[in-house]
Structures are given as C-alpha cells and as structure tokens.
Amino acid sequence: MSIIIKTESEINKMRIAGRLAAEVLEMIEPYVIPGVTTNELDKICHDYIVDVQKAIPAPLNYHGFPKSICTSINQQVCHGIPSEKKLKSGDIVNIDITVIKDEYHGDTSKMFCVGEVSPHAKRLIKVTREAMFLGIEQVKPSATLGDIGHAVQKYAEANRYSVVREFCGHGIGKNFHEDPHVLHYGKAGEGEVLESGMILTIEPMINIGKRHVKVLADGWTAVTKDRTLSAQWEHTILVTPGGYDILTLRQEEM
C-alpha cells in the first residue's frame, strides 16, 4: 500500500468521522469516575455511536478485537480490553475511540484521571499531550515523518520519559490503518515527505520508566515491561496547503 491522497469529497467525510469520534470522548467524560467498569464505558460508547451517531465502532471485531473501544489503565500502554474491572480513584485511563461514518474513519484518544491522581501521573499525562502537539505542529507539506517523530521523542526524553516503539500512528481513511507508519521517534528530515491531502494519526505512547512493552495473554493489551505508568493521546490530522488541520479536536481544545 502507498500513501493515499484524499480528494475533497473524502476529506469532507473524514471531517465528519473525526468530529463524531471527538464527540464520543466529550460524551463519555462524566461517566469516567471511581466505581464504573470499563465494560459500562464500552456499552455507553457503543450505544451512542450506533444509536445517536448512526455510525460504526471500528474496533468491534477488528482483527478479532472483542469490544467497541480501547480502555488502557495505568501500566497498560494501548489496546486495553474493556472488562468488569472497576476504575478506582488514582487510576489514569486512556479511552481510544474510532468511528466509521459513511465508510470513513475518525480515530482519537485522550487520558482521563479517575478521582484524585498523583502528581507524577499528572505530569506524565501533561508531557505526553504536549509531545503529541509538538508532533502535530511539525505537519505541513514538505515536512517529513521523521520531523514528527523527532519532535515527539526529543520532548519526551528531555522530560526523562521513554517513547514506545512497537506501536505507531498511521494513515487513515477508508481503512482504519493505512500507510504510512507514523513513528513517534526518529531523525528530523528523514522518512516520507508529507503532502497536502494526506491524513494520518499522531498518537504517542510515553512511559515513565523504560520503553519496552509486552502483550498480555489476551493477545491485545500492551503493558510496560517494568510496570511503570504509560500515557497516550491521539488525534487524526489532515495535511493542508498551509500546515495541518486537526479533524478530531474537542470543544475543550478550541
């Protein structure tokens, strides 16, 4: 597969899918409190996407994934499977939403703090979000994928954190995951050159401890090998003639 440049009509559909994904994160916020199970969050999101948005939750049955959203708690890096486990005060949780509307995908995630969270967890969450935005700010025609990865890695490591390498951002459109791979580490000026009309996700996973991860026996949940906390944020980004447009921006970010 090579990188697909989206047409004007595809971009319009991607804007709609992106907005719907963002709206699911806005909708779920008041439910992310101590005592809720991640299965309950999954059901609320599923029903909202299907019944209100008339859209499709992309993770459900994607390569066998059993739920409609990913919920990754504390040392879980990504692809956490919702379960009967209750969230408790002090947990940090990434909720990753991907919807399909009119055949096109919108993909976005954010970190939620459950009840009262420790200062070191809050710092990880803040630095990871800033790292994502530094990556996003690199996006413009003639910049390279390496510019994005370099910006993310430099900032994460300057803050004494590590960047996960096994999972990356991706092109997105009619397919959930398209070319290119968007690494969150690398060298400025290296890699594919960006062009107007490309759409990709930037979704760094950053750990307090070492970068290494392993996948649990469920075949999905990635956790830090050293069991330190991990955070992730994700947006879907359109390359525009003048730079970028964030297709999954939430009200709180405008």
Whole-Å CA distances, 209 to 34, 93, 100, 157, 231: 26, 17, 35, 11, 11
Among 5, 27, 62, 122, indicate the residue that binds ligand MF3 (CB under 6 A): 62
Q: Residue 172 burial by CB count (10 A; 0-12/13-18/19+): exposed, middle or buried?
A: buried
107 annotated as ligand-binding: yes
Among 96, 104, 146, 238, indicate the residue that binds Co ion (CB under 5 A): 96
Count of residues for the chain? 254
Tell me: does residue 96 bind ligand MF3 (CB under 6 A). Answer: yes
CB 189, min distance to ligand MF3, A = 26
Give the integer Cα–Cα distance in Å for 244 and 136: 8
Ranked by CB distance to ligand MF3, the top (closest) residue is 59
Helix (H) or strand (E) holding 109: strand 104-113
Tell me: does residue 42 bind ligand MF3 (CB under 6 A). Answer: no
Tell me: does residue 107 bind ligand MF3 (CB under 6 A). Answer: yes
Give the integer Cα–Cα distance in Å for 227 and 210: 9
Helix (H) or strand (E) holding 213: strand 213-215
Q: Which stretch binds ligand MF3 (CB under 6 A): 26-34, 41-49, 60-68, 180-188?
A: 60-68
Whole-Å CA distances, 14 to 106, 173, 182, 202: 7, 7, 18, 16
Binding-residue pattern over the window 214 to 243 for Co ion, x denoting contact by CB under 5 A? --------------------x---------
CB 107, min distance to ligand MF3, A = 5
Tell me: does residue 56 bind ligand MF3 (CB under 6 A). Answer: no
CA angle 239, 18, 25 (to 5 degrees): 130
Q: Are 198 and 3 in contact (CB under 8 A)?
A: yes
133 binds, among ligand MF3, Co ion, none (CB under 5 to 8 A by kind): none
3-class DSSP state of 250: coil
Binding-residue pattern over the window 122 to 141 for Co ion, x denoting contact by CB under 5 A? --------------------
Residues that bind ligand MF3 (CB under 6 A): 59, 62-63, 65, 70, 79, 96, 98, 107, 201, 203, 220, 234
Binding residues vs Co ion (CB under 5 A) = 96, 107, 201, 234
Q: Please state the residue numbers annotated as binding site for substrate.
A: 79, 177
